[in-house]
Copies of this chain bind each other. A is one copy, B any other.
Amino acid sequence: MPTECSQRRLLLDEVVAKGFRLTSQRRALIQIIQQSRQHVDAATLLKLARKRDPRINRATVYRTLDLLKKLQLVDELDLMHLTGEKHYYEVRPDRQHVHLACCRCGRIVEFSSDTFDRLQSEIAAQTGFEIQVARLEVGGHCSSCAAAAHSATSASEAGKDALKSSVD
């Protein structure tokens, strides 16, 4: 999710600075990604962009996303594939964060910590790997769903039946 309007210009500038053209389509798509409070997927992005310019095409959305990924201006997320195989996008934040996806209620929680920062430095230092993206996604139950699941399970019983009826 966008940190602030400080980035509003930046992404567009960055695209220009790297020598890419600033088309109305790119402008629109970038603005939509920045203004979105949620993580957006390609289909949603297309739908929103078409409200501004109905002629905008699906291929353009994918091509723009590819460009922004390459420029490392946006990050691609899977969010644990909770809702199919689509990808989600967010403006790359100053500080990397973890995405916690609740497979019961679908909520996405973001979490950042020094330990995560340190882990990345450690990886780079110990493996010589030059990190461009680090994506940590966690699946499980958020605190409220964990509580709900436990009380439900203690009554009914675990094992196959619990598994079969579970939402994940």
**In the complex, how many angstroms separate the beta carbon of A99 from the nearest chain B beta carbon?**
10
Residues of B within 8 A of A138 (CB): 120, 123, 129, 131, 133-135
CA distance A116 to B168 in the complex (A): 24
A1-45: CB near B (< 8 Å → 1, else 0) gives: 000000000000000001110000000000000000000000000
Residues of B within 8 A of A119 (CB): 98, 113, 115-116, 119, 136
Residues of B within 8 A of A115 (CB): 115, 118-119, 122
A163 at interface, CB cutoff 8 A: yes
Prevailing SS type, chain A contact patch: mixed
Cross-chain contact B139 with A127 (CB below 8 angstroms)? no
**In the complex, how many angstroms separate the beta carbon of A43 from the nearest chain B beta carbon?**
15
CA distance A18 to B143 in the complex (A): 26
